[in-house]
């Protein structure tokens, strides 16, 4: 028994050793097959060192120069170095092993030889230093080509050439030609960055860099954005994918390989996308969705839209609007937009058969007929329950895609909702109780407003003020519509300061009120002055001796500006000192506006259908908003059309530019963030209060102003009225 056990143990040990050896053999690297890719130089004297590149070069063998064997000095799997033998002759260079012979190329015995060069990679315009022998010429200067493209030779000695990488170079051999002889050395790796996509984005944006000569390893490619190192995610010989770094700034994208830097296009930092509205907020498969906002990309594939995590292809794209078709089956979830990897979250979407795509009009008063467009409505009118801010409306008629309702008597601004059985859909935006009311005057009312009423302003308490150049007065209209002379003496012209009761004024052209209820008055008189009426009622003179006392306007800080007709615009400091930001022609019928950045928007001429801009840092855009031909059209600023003679501009509470377009009976809005012109309100000719689709104005409106609650007051000259436009 003991002998049997001993035998079994010995057998087990032998098997274990065998398995261990088998494992060791499996762990050994697999030898790559013998192959030759290139060699250099292809010429030289005896003793020249020739490098052969390939794989499997550790295999035993010999290098033959014709019928002479060269001395192999060192070798590894990918390269070997061999010395050209004495008494060799020009001929074939071959690698001979026990079982195969590989023809490498031809080696020429001559005095000309390219041994090496540095750097071995780079871009157009950089210089390389080529080392070798026999470069000195007795007949003509040495010539250098990179992959067959002639390079500019900067300097030559017998053993060194300095050459410049040519414009149309690509990767390939460096060849030198001297006295009819040629010699090729190693391959030069040509570097270029031909493009980046996207060209805009921010922190974390994944950018594809295209070009030539990139390294095959992540560590071999150093990419920076305006000097800030980026993370390399993917590599290839002609493409890199990188991630914009946390401290990225606008500037060129550059790739550095082996210490050689190649600069590519500029990557521009843009703000995060902004979703202003998603239409609809619910709906079935096949319904079109529109996402409006700002900072989108006009390139389709740079916008990625997801609903509940499901990616939906974008059909059309502009900087402010995307459209797509609902695929159905997404489930309920957030609408998420990523523009060049800059992600923003939008509203909740319901994946259901009921949805609202449009409400027309989107504002109104009690009794306004509203058409709701969408999908999944009941054709039985009574089965559609429509509420405005929770208050039920009367449904007049219904189809599967349209409902007509009348707004309730107790209408207030709020969410519009349609219910059908267990389904509920919200309108993309709140329905606003908005319209037009006459604060004071009207045809046949004996109003004090006439052709000589020149300007309108409103204070923090909602009192409206009107100036009159004919009787040198400023009248005050209270919020309940009562009017009286507030400053000046009717028919008495002068320049007396003091209290409101004592002060006199000249022919008043313009008035404006700052945030502290101080009023500034421009008056055409012998003095051509700006007067100040402080909030306590005291009247002083700010500036006299103006060339022309035109339209007054204020910047955000309350500093005073005034138009000078053909002499431009003046800024007038509290000390009376002046500065001229613009010296050209300025239309006097339109009050200019200054935005938060200090840019001034104005008319060059009273009849222009477009606004010009004075850039705060200096410079001028003569046609900044609108076309040179008049008309009526919303859209991007240079596509928009206005009537001839815009009569006023101002900033609303959100910082958008409002434009009083009298010939189109409208107030237009220019959104600085997306560059779009839209219609805030459009009326018709005549005189009528009511919702925006019912309101009527005269064609001769001559100015407007905005109250701190956002209400707008319009001087409706031909109707002898002050009209109030309220937005909710």
CA separation, residue 468 to residues 89, 441, 568, 702 (Å):
109, 15, 24, 13
CB 560 within 8 A of CB 520: yes
Sheet holding 149-150, edge to edge: 121-122, 181-190, 172-178, 143-146, 149-150
Structure tokens belonging to residue 14 = 């032998």
Residue 688 has pLDDT above 80, yes or no: yes
Q: Is residue 711 pLDDT above 50, yes or no?
A: yes
Peptide bond into 232 cis (omega under 30): no
- Scored b (16 or more CB within 10 A) or e, 71-106 reads ebeebeeeebbbbbbeebeeeebbbeeeeeeeebee
Indicate the pLDDT class of residue 31, thresholds 50, 70 and 90.
low
Over residues 635-656, the pLDDT tens digits come to 999 999 999 989 999 999 999 9
In angstroms, rounded to a whole number, what is the distance separating the alpha carbons of residues 560 and 56?
A: 83
Is 90 exceeded by the pLDDT of residue 243? yes
Mean pLDDT (whole number) for 271-284? 95
Tokens read off for 448: 């004090």
Q: Are 116 and 188 in contact (CB under 8 A)?
A: no
Element (H, E) at 137: none
- Rounded average pLDDT over 503-524: 96
Percent of the chain whose pLDDT exceeds 90? 87
Q: Which of 600, 684, 662, 670 is nearest to 634 (CA)?
A: 670
**Cβ contacts of residue 88 below 8 Å, gap of 6+?**
46, 65, 66, 68, 70, 107, 109
Helix or strand holding residue 18 (H, E) = helix 2-27
Q: DSSP string of 42-54?
A: SEE-TT-EEEEEE
Phi, psi (degrees; rounded to nearest 5) at 117? -155, 160
d(CA 374, CA 400): 8
Mean pLDDT, the chain, whole residue set: 92
Query: Of 401, 437, 433, which is closest to residue 416 (Cα–Cα)?
Result: 433
Predicted pLDDT at 611: 97
At 665, list the tokens.
């009976």
Q: Are 359 and 416 in contact (CB under 8 A)?
A: yes
Phi, psi of 603 (to 5 degrees): -95, 135
Nearest residue to 171 via CA among 205, 121, 125: 121
Q: What is the mean pLDDT of residues 556-569?
A: 93
Residue 59: its pLDDT value, please? 65
Question: Strands 560-563, 181-190: parallel, antiparallel or unpaired by DSSP?
Answer: unpaired
Per residue in 201-237, pLDDT (tens digit) is 999 999 999 999 999 999 999 999 999 999 999 999 9
| pLDDT higher than threshold 70 for residue 16 | no
Per-residue pLDDT of 604-630, as tens digits, reads 999 999 999 999 877 899 999 999 999
pTM of the model: 0.74
Per-residue pLDDT at 20 exceeds 70: no
Strands 483-487 and 473-477, sheet pairing: antiparallel
SS3 label, residue 481: coil
pLDDT of residue 21: 40
> What are the structural domains of the chain?
35-109 (2.60.40.10), 113-190 (2.60.40.10), 192-269 (2.60.40.10), 276-351 (2.60.40.10), 355-433 (2.60.40.10), 435-726 (2.120.10.30)
3 pLDDT above the threshold of 80: no
- In tens, the pLDDT along 386-431 reads 999 999 999 999 999 999 999 999 999 999 999 999 999 999 999 9
Give residue 10's pLDDT band: very low, low, confident or very high (50, 70, 90).
Answer: very low
Distance CA 633, CA 635 (A): 7
Res 588: pLDDT: 87
CA–CA separation, 47 and 594 (whole Å)? 80
pLDDT at position 96 is: 92
Q: Does 520 score more than 80 pLDDT?
A: yes
Distance (Å, rounded) from C-alpha 362 to C-alpha 385? 18
Residue-wise pLDDT tens digits, 307-323? 999 999 999 999 999 99
Average pLDDT of the segment spanning 339-352: 96
Torsional class of 462: left (φ above 0), alpha (ψ -120 to 50), beta (otherwise) = left
Contacts of 131 (CB under 8 A, 6+ apart): 114, 115, 116, 117, 118, 159, 160
> So what's the pLDDT on residue 22?
41
Tokens of 358: 């449009």
pLDDT reading at 266 higher than 50? yes
pLDDT in tens, 490-510: 999 999 999 999 999 999 999
CA-wise closest residue to 177 among 115, 134, 119: 134
β-strand partners of 404: 371, 397
**pLDDT beyond 80 at 25:** no
The answer to whether 187 and 204 have CB atoms below 8 angstroms apart is no
DSSP structure string for 626-678: S-SS---B-EETTT-B--SS--BEEE-TTSPEEEEEGGGTEEEEEETTTTEEE
Rg (CA), the chain: 41
296 half-sphere exposure, CB direction, 13 A CA radius: 28
Question: pLDDT confidence of 33, banded at 50, 70, 90?
Answer: confident
For residue 8, the model assigns a pLDDT of: 35
Of 93, 99, 66, the C-alpha closest to 80 is: 93
Q: Is the pLDDT of residue 19 over 60?
A: no
Task: Flag whether pLDDT at 27 surpasses 50.
Answer: no
- The pLDDT, as a whole number, for residue 11 is 37
> Which pLDDT score, from 0 to 100, does residue 30 have?
57
């Amino acid at each position: 028994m003991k002998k049997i056990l001993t035998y079994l143990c010995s057998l087990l040990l032998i098997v274990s050793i065998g398995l261990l050896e088998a494992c060791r053999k499996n762990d050994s690297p697999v030898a790559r097959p013998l192959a030759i890719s290139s060699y250099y130089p292809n010429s030289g004297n005896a003793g020249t060192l020739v490098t052969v590149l390939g794989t499997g070069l550790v295999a035993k063998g010999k290098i033959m120069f014709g019928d002479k064997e060269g001395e192999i000095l060192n070798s590894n799997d990918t390269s070997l170095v061999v010395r050209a033998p004495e008494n060799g002759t020009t001929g074939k260079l071959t690698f001979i092993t026990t079982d195969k012979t590989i023809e490498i190329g031809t080696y020429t015995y001559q005095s000309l030889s390219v041994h090496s060069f540095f750097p071995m990679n780079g871009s157009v315009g950089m210089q390389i230093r080529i080392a070798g022998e026999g470069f000195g010429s007795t007949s003509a200067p040495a010539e250098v080509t990179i992959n067959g493209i002639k390079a500019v030779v900067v300097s030559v000695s017998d053993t060194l050439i300095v050459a410049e990488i040519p414009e149309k170079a690509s990767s390939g051999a460096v060849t030198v030609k001297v006295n009819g002889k040629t010699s090729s050395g190693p391959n030069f790796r040509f570097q270029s960055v031909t493009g980046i996509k996207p060209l805009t984005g921010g922190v974390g944006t994944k950018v594809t860099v295209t070009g030539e000569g990139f390294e095959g390893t992540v560590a071999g490619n150093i990419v920076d954005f305006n000097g800030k190192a980026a993370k390399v995610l993917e590599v290839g010989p002609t493409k890199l994918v990188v991630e914009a770094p946390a401290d990225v700034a606008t500037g060129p994208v550059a790739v550095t390989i082996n210490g050689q830097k190649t600069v590519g296009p500029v990557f521009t930092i843009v703000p995060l996308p902004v979703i202003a509205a998603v239409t609809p907020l619910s709906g079935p498969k096949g319904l079109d969705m529109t996402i409006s906002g700002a900072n989108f990309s006009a390139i389709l594939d740079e916008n990625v839209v997801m609903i509940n995590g499901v990616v939906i292809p974008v059909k059309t794209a502009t900087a402010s609007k995307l459209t797509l078709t609902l695929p159905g089956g997404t489930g309920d979830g957030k609408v998420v937009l990523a523009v060049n990897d800059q992600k923003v979250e939008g509203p909740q979407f319901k994946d259901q058969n009921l949805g609202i795509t449009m409400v027309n009009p989107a504002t109104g008063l009690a009794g306004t007929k509203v058409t709701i467009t969408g999908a999944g409505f009941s054709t039985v009118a009574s089965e559609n329950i429509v509420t405005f801010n929770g208050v039920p409306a009367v449904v007049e008629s219904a189809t599967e895609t349209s409902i007509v309702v009348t707004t309730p008597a107790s209408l207030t601004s709020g969410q519009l909702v349609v219910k059908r059985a267990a389904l509920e859909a919200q309108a993309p935006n709140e329905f606003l109780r908005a319209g037009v009311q006459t604060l004071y005057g009207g045809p046949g009312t004996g109003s004090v407003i006439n052709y000589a009423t020149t300007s309108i302003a409103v204070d923090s308490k909602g009192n409206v003020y009107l100036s009159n150049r004919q009787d040198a007065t400023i009248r005050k209209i209270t919020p309940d519509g009562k009017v009286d002379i507030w400053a000046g003496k009717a028919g008495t012209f002068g320049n007396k300061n003091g209290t409101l009761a004592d002060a006199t004024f000249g022919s008043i052209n313009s008035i404006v009120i700052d945030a502290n209820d101080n009023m500034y008055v421009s008056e055409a008189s012998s003095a051509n002055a700006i007067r100040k009426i402080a909030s306590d009622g005291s009247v002083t003179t700010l500036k006299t001796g103006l060339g022309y006392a035109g339209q007054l306007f204020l910047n955000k800080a309350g500093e005073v500006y005034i138009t000078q007709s053909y002499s431009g615009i003046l800024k007038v400091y509290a000390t009376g000192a002046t500065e001229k930001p613009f010296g050209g022609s300025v239309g006097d019928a339109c009050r200019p506006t200054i935005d938060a950045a200090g840019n001034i928007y104005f008319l060059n001429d009273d009849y222009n259908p477009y606004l010009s801009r004075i850039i705060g840092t200096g410079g001028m855009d003569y046609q900044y908003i609108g076309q040179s031909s008049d008309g009526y059209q919303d859209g991007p600023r240079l596509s928009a059309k206005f009537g001839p003679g815009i009569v006023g501009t101002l900033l609303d509470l959100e910082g958008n530019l409002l434009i009083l377009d009298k010939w189109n009976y409208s107030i237009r809005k220019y959104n600085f963030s997306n560059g779009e012109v839209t219609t805030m309100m459009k009326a018709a000719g005549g005189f009528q209060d009511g919702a925006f689709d019912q309101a009527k104005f005269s064609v001769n409106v001559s100015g407007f102003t905005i109250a701190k609650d956002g209400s707008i007051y319009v001087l409706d000259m031909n109707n002898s009225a002050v009209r109030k436009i309220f937005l909710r």
